[in-house]
A and B are shown apart, each in its own frame.
Chain A
């Protein structure tokens, strides 16, 4: 009896191992790592955990680009997708796996600045270039010649939202609720604060700064404190997961001030979970399907529709797509899958037409781009405004 049970249990365990094993490495065909007939591009994304929805959006765009442009230098491009589980430590080891075991030529990712920064030293030491699609914290590329990105950075995004709060929402007093364990959130809150204080000329324009941790679910204490300060606007840079709950709980506590935030909000889950509470929430992001900027944008929009039906393409998908075609272009120019040569070509990127706009990288390997402001309206992300980079 006991033996039988033990057998059954070990079988269950085995099956679950096989399952998780498969889902982690779907794109890898499992043949030897030095196969010269393919060029491998690593995709480092959170597929499970708190940021999984964001990672999934980027992967959507990357897979679409891979489908449209499957070869380079006469060789097949193979995507090696690894899951960093929304965890910083896991992100570093997943990146090591990509460069050491899979011998990838370049890496795309990760969603989230913290997760990207965790992989920073790995790609730098291995001399394999990485292109982040939506990681916006300046520290991702700072002092790391091997990290690039196809999106703008937070000092710009913070300024855009400060301007929006001051000019459009006529805010004089703002409260901030930030995710202290997330570099993206803390950075964006700081850049917003600096810009907003400068605009109002008032040192006390930020009436409250509340903190929370990644994965928290109860924010009523922080929000009750904020309510007592009676701000005009609440700036809540942070992941969609917690942000949707924050806004929901704020409305339940009777807080009426509008919520504004950053690019991470743009996932279907944000609206799903927030429902009517997130109506009117505004945030800055990278891209809108309502204003195709380049030829590549039109192609992306048309192909996206074919592939994913009537789903609205998100900025993360468009930027994931851009990261892929930018790397492919660099491989073509380098004429070899050698990571160092690819890096040198990436560094020269100028006026490259991507789906989310024209990409020019500055000396710190950051893209200079316009920001788009979107609002949640009628259960959808709607385009409000474009703010220039200069």
Chain B
């Protein structure tokens, strides 16, 4: 393999990995604060993509406005989901909330089939973002630069929010022990609602980036990215926001390299992600950046 081909593979891997990372941040954030695996995250992601699509295709908004509106709407949808499917079960056993999350996921998917139709739609792609730059023999889409920048930017903003603001402090308090936090005067409902809002907005950003990179959207669009982002979050150490980004890159680059160097294993590409998940759970259950379990005891 020539150097040019290898660098091209690397660029492809970074581009895919940053997408996984973007979706994984939202996943891991909700988990970090509520200890809840929000299996509907992938479908929220899909909804965000469709909102952006309709903004441009039906309401003919300029793309940036449509994207912004879609992100806000998805945030509201996330808050509604939390209020409808998770809040009533907050004091129920954890497994009930998990099942409720799976139910919410199916509900969103089927609603999308009914509302948006089952046929694939072409996601509108503004030229600025999809044009290609050629560096030597390597071809890189503008998006390949944009997505990691957006991912890292959001990561920094999120870390700032969690560690340096009052809302972030409340989030961390709720994460530690939400009953005590409530006694100490933290409005738990508001904090959790905010968490879901931000998590869903991140999902929408991920969905829009996904739509730009793979401009074909169907109602089941969120299923695989949702699972992959979950795996990325586990690899990085679920609950840890920086870990999610690292996990996303590991998974994305790993997948591309698998196809690149072992083409005969291409059919097992998705299986690779799950095998990686199993290995991580077996040998380093808390992930790359995960906290040590002993500390919690």
What residues make up the interface of A, taking CB atoms closer than 8 Å to B? 2, 5-6, 8-9, 12-13, 16, 19-20, 23, 47-50, 52-53, 56, 180-181, 210-213, 215-218, 220-222, 224-225, 227-228, 241, 244-245, 248, 252-254, 269, 272-273, 275
Contact = CB atoms under 8 A, between A and B. Distances in A.
A241 B120 contact: yes
5 contacts: A48-B118, A210-B263, A213-B266, A217-B214, A220-B12
Interface in B102-152: 107, 110-111, 113-114, 117-122, 130, 132, 134, 137, 139, 141
A225 B264 CA distance: 12
A2 B122 CA distance: 41
A142 to B, nearest CB: 24
A224 B220 contact: no
A23 B219 CA distance: 15
A226 to B, nearest CB: 10
Contacts, number: 118
A52 B119 CA distance: 5
Given A181-B267, A224-B9, A252-B141, A19 B216 contact: no
B259 interface: yes
B33 interface: no
B270 interface: yes
Given A48-B219, A52-B117, A181-B267, 6 more contacts: A19-B114, A48-B118, A52-B120, A211-B267, A217-B216, A269-B119
B215 A49 contact: no
Nearest to A6: B88
A47 to B, nearest CB: 6
B256 A221 contact: yes
A53 B88 CA distance: 40
Most chain-B CB neighbours within 10 Å: which of A211, A221, A275? A221
A16 B122 contact: no
Contacts of B9: 221, 224
A273 B1 contact: no
A13 B107 contact: yes
Contacts of B141: 252
Most chain-A CB neighbours within 10 Å: which of B85, B107, B121, B122? B122
A222 B110 contact: no
B120 A269 contact: yes
Contacts of B266: 180, 210-213, 222
